[in-house]
Structure formats: structure tokens, C-alpha cells
Amino acid sequence: MKKIPLLLVGLCLLAFGGVARAADLAPGLLGEYFAMDSAVEDFPKIAADKKPTLKRVDKTIEFRSTGPTFPGTKLDNHFAIRWTGVIKIPQDGKYTFSLESDDGSRLLIDGKTVVDNGGLHEMQEQSESVELKAGEHELRIDYFENENDGGAGCVLCWKSKDLARAVVPASALFHKGE
């Protein structure tokens, strides 16, 4: 049986949509911004064929509560955002992630919900801890805004025994280039 060089296997995985490493990815998270047709009182089900109103790369998720529109957009009421990409964890350990948002937000790492800050509310924070291995992990943040009475915002922070609490930096967030 002929052996296939490991490098060739890795290149094939990348070429055919396999797992990419942060070194092969572009900085920031891909944000897909969706205008919704009616009130959004919980995480909306976004149809697979629904096109985003806006698609952009956000280097960090640090949008403090503001109004009348979400920063850098024309969206004010009844919208949702889905940020996707990869987070690079510097070393094995327990990480505490915090999501502060107005209205609902949730953080998924490797497909598992880590923080759920759902519901209709002004800026409020929820935190949860998770054990993670060093390296790249799939990341998704879902966010929605119903009515912009007091603003709209979403902020993602982390901390660990070796990291002071801070907004997750751009140097740890990546996405597949388009």
C-alpha cells in the first residue's frame, strides 16, 4: 500500500472544504446582517435561502449599546446578526466567556452553546466557563435586536487564569476568506 504524504492530505482537505487552520484564514469574524420583516422576540430562524442585508468582516465583537442604528449599518429595529469563524485559544485551560448584549445573544464553540443571553432586555451580561484545548475552535455568535428603544449592542469578552478579562482581540478571531 502506497503512503500519501501528510502535507498532501492537508492540502486536499483545504481544497475540498476540510478544516482550515488559523494560518490559512483571514482576520476577523464574518458577519451576516439580516433585516427581519417583523418583530424579533427570540433567536429567529433564518431561512437558508435568505440573503443577508449586509455582509462584512468584523475584527472584534465590541459594539457598545448605541442608537439609532447598529454601528456601521442602517439597521435599527428587527434585525439579526450571525458572526462565524474560528477562535484561536492560546493554551489549554478553563476560559470564561461573557456576552453583553441588547437584546439577545448566544455563543457557540465547536457547535455547543457556551453562553446563552437570550430574550428581550437592555444591555445585560451572561458569562459561562468552558475547558478548551489550545488551538483553533469553530465559533458562532447569534445576535438579535427587536426594538431599539435603548440602543443595540453586542460585546464578546474572555478571561482565563493567564488572561485578564478583556474583549476577545482581533488576533484570536479568524474566518474563511471569500
Provide the CATH number for the domain around residue 135: 3.90.182.10
pLDDT (0 to 100) of residue 21: 58
CA distance 55 to 32: 5
In a domain, 2, yes or no: no
pLDDT (0 to 100) of residue 113: 98
Range of the domain at 44: 26-175
In a domain, 127, yes or no: yes
pLDDT (0 to 100) of residue 8: 35
150 band by pLDDT with thresholds 50, 70 and 90: low
Mean pLDDT of the chain: 87
In a domain, 137, yes or no: yes
In a domain, 18, yes or no: no
The yes-or-no verdict on residue 19 having pLDDT over 90 is no
The yes-or-no verdict on residue 18 having pLDDT over 80 is no
pLDDT (0 to 100) of residue 22: 54
The yes-or-no verdict on residue 120 having pLDDT over 60 is yes
In a domain, 156, yes or no: yes
68: helix, strand or coil = coil
In a domain, 15, yes or no: no
In a domain, 11, yes or no: no
In a domain, 63, yes or no: yes
The yes-or-no verdict on residue 14 having pLDDT over 50 is no
2: which 3 cell numbers? 502506497
- Quote the number of domains for the chain: 1
**What is the per-residue pLDDT across 43-80, written as a single tens digit (0 to 9) for each?**
989 988 999 999 999 999 999 987 788 999 999 889 99
Q: Which residue has the higher pLDDT, 47 or 125?
A: 125
CA distance 156 to 172: 12
50: which 3 cell numbers? 435568505
